[in-house]
Amino acid sequence: MLAKMTSKNQLTLPRSVTESVGTPEYFDVEVRDGAIVLTPVRIQRGDAVRAKLAALGLDGADVRDAVAWARQAAEAPAPLAAEPPTAYRARRGTRSVPDDKA
């Protein structure tokens, strides 16, 4: 199929091509061996992220603690920076995490 690029670097893809990959809104663009390669990308919206957090059993406190840990780890010496948020929460006693899972 042939597609024309406009003077503004815009390219219209044939509908049959986009429909064959699920009519994506975004594409990852790369050059590979002199060819432009478009790969459909599904952008996760906020609702999808919230659903994933709920499925993992994470709540606002987990997110706050992870952000606090990351901020503290960025300023702390290497041993604290290597400690994951789940171990941080387990150490504080706000979440029961077995030692082998931390």
Domains and CATH numbers, the chain: 1-43 (2.10.260), 46-95 (no CATH)
- Enter the tokens of residue 55: 């499925």
Q: What are phi and psi of 99, to 5 degrees?
A: -55, -40
The pLDDT of residue 79 is above 90: no
Higher pLDDT, 12 or 97: 12
pLDDT in tens, 22-78: 888 889 999 999 999 999 988 777 888 888 888 888 888 888 888 888 888 777 666
pLDDT bucket at 8, cuts 50 / 70 / 90: very high
**In the block, residue with structure tokens 């690029």:** 5
H/E segment holding residue 74: helix 60-75
Secondary structure class of 87 (helix, strand, coil): helix
The residue type at 9: N
Residue recorded with tokens 């044939």? 14
CA–CA separation, 79 vs 11, rounded Å?
A: 50
The answer to whether residue 83 scores a pLDDT higher than 90 is no
Q: Look at residue 48 in the predicted model and tell me its pLDDT.
A: 81
pTM of the predicted structure, to 2 decimals: 0.42
pLDDT of residue 33: 96
pLDDT (mean) for 77-93: 57
